[in-house]
Amino acid sequence: MDLITFFGVQSGTELAWIGLGLFAQVMFGMRFIIQWLHSERAKRSVVPLSFWYYSLFGGLMMLAYALYRWDPVFILGQAMGLAVYVRNLVLIHRERRAPGYSADKR
């Protein structure tokens, strides 16, 4: 099977970007699976730290793909999301460094 024809692209470079975009979407989507599994295990709604890391790395790859495609709607959406993911990670790590922090309190 000719993947360049299948994906309707003109070159191997474009095909590589399609591959990155697909991988980024899988990474980004995995955050929901991880969150769901953690919540099922805890029998309550839980947002694990890994959710934010999958969001960050998936979002960065999606932003790279959006920039390659030069899609302003996609770029804006991913860039705004990245600000939220980074801020949540900063807050989480700041809390964990605070005196008296206990993982049991979470």
Decide if 74 contacts 66 (C-beta within 8 A).
yes
Q: Which domain, by its residues, includes 91?
A: 3-105
HSE of 40 in the Cβ direction (CA atoms, 13 Å)?
6
* pLDDT of res. 70: 94
- Asked if the model's pLDDT at residue 106 lies above 70, the reply is no
Q: What is the mean pLDDT of residues 2-12?
A: 85
d(CA 98, CA 73): 38
- Asked if the model's pLDDT at residue 102 lies above 80, the reply is no
Question: To the nearest 5 percent, what fractions of the chain are helix, strand and coil?
Answer: 80, 0, 20
Split at pLDDT 50, 70, 90, the class of 8 is confident
* Total domain count, the chain: 1
C-alpha to C-alpha distances, 38 to 5, 31, 53, 89, nearest whole angstrom: 40, 11, 15, 18
Q: Is the pTM of this model over 0.85?
A: no
Amino acid at 3: L
Tens of pLDDT, residues 26-38: 998 999 999 999 9
